[in-house]
Amino acid sequence: MSGTHRKVLEVLSGKTLTPPPIWLMRQAGRYLPEYRAVRATAGSFLDLCYTPDLAVEVTLQPIRRYGFDAAILFSDILVVPDGLRRNVRFEEGQGPRMDPIDEDGIGRLRPDGVIAHLAPVFETVGRLRRELPTDTTLLGFCGAPWTVATYMIAGRGTPDQAPARLFAYRHPRAFERLLTLLADISADYLVEQIDAGADAVQIFDSWAGVLGEEEFQRFAIEPVRRMIASVRARRPSAKIIAFAKGAGLLLKNYRQATGTDAIGLDWSVPLSFAAELQKDGPVQGNLDPVRVVAGGAALEHGTDRILDVLGQGPLIFNLGHGITPDADPDHVAALVARVRGSR
């Protein structure tokens, strides 16, 4: 990284930049016609994730179009259970599916071979670092153990993750074993991404918001703390963003409890609370993705509010969740221009 000026990394080190750097979750995706063209040729969604030529191309598309300050590896959080041989597949119009796991199945899980299975991902990371502009931060990522476990227990996404919550209450030892296994594999996975060329990594806990206070501590904080400690023991300078969507007030001590450098914030987090969290370090977020769909005054007002409240501290501008397929690419261009000062 010698001689480069990667703004996202500077913010992750605690600096305040004006204007703040910007990237968007799911910035490579179905709202872009060029993505849809590649997706149509890729076969299955996992084929797209595991084919470096294609994964590199779709990762680069939004960088070419918008010049975001960071590119995020194109992959999926469910490649880890796929590596655990859970028969992951993505069904059109139905979302992810896999073979549900039970208590006996958890006891039979072995981490052997998972990292080897993910070798195409590391090849993609390495190629991206070589092909990206030198001042563009490359982000790797993985799912948090709780969120990945919810899919493994139910075999699919569910509205409130009741299957995983019920399983955790009925089989606490087996569930703890699953979370620990996922934490350790995921830490290995992040280290490999860093070694392949990722500048920083993000941990997505997309279903943290369904947890109560005690469960959040046990299922969201503890496994992520274990992951981050494992990564830092091997790569002490690693920069990490943790995004616990929907966690609300439970984020108050999340940074200190997990050891993350930055906290990702969804759009339901009040900006006054976000400003309090920012006093302890960088925050990322937190524009409502629907404002990007709306465009116009709604987009401008939401953007300006975040910049006004959080722009005087370490901020990475982002959405409060992934960009939606119905977003207008021109609205994204308007967002980037406004964040960068064209207002």
pLDDT tens for the chain, residues 1 to 343: 445 789 999 999 999 999 999 999 999 999 999 999 999 999 999 999 999 999 999 999 999 999 999 999 999 999 999 999 999 999 877 889 999 999 999 999 999 999 999 999 999 999 999 999 999 999 999 999 999 999 999 999 998 999 999 999 999 999 999 999 999 999 999 999 999 999 999 999 999 999 999 999 999 999 999 999 999 999 999 999 999 999 999 999 999 999 999 999 999 999 999 999 999 999 999 999 999 999 999 999 999 999 999 999 999 999 999 999 999 999 999 999 999 995 4
What CATH number corresponds to the domain at position 118?
Answer: 3.20.20.210
User: Looking at the annotation, which residues are catalytic?
Assistant: 26, 30, 39, 76, 151
Q: How many domains does the chain have?
A: 1
Is 300 inside any structural domain? yes
Is 2 inside any structural domain? no
Is 1 inside any structural domain? no
Beta bridge partners of 140: 201
Is 136 inside any structural domain? yes
**Sequence letter at residue 259:** G
At 316, give phi and psi (nearest 5°): -110, 115
Question: To the nearest 10°, the Cα dihedral for 218, 219, 220, 224?
Answer: 90
Is 192 inside any structural domain? yes
Residue 287: give the domain boundaries: 7-339
State pTM to two decimals: 0.97
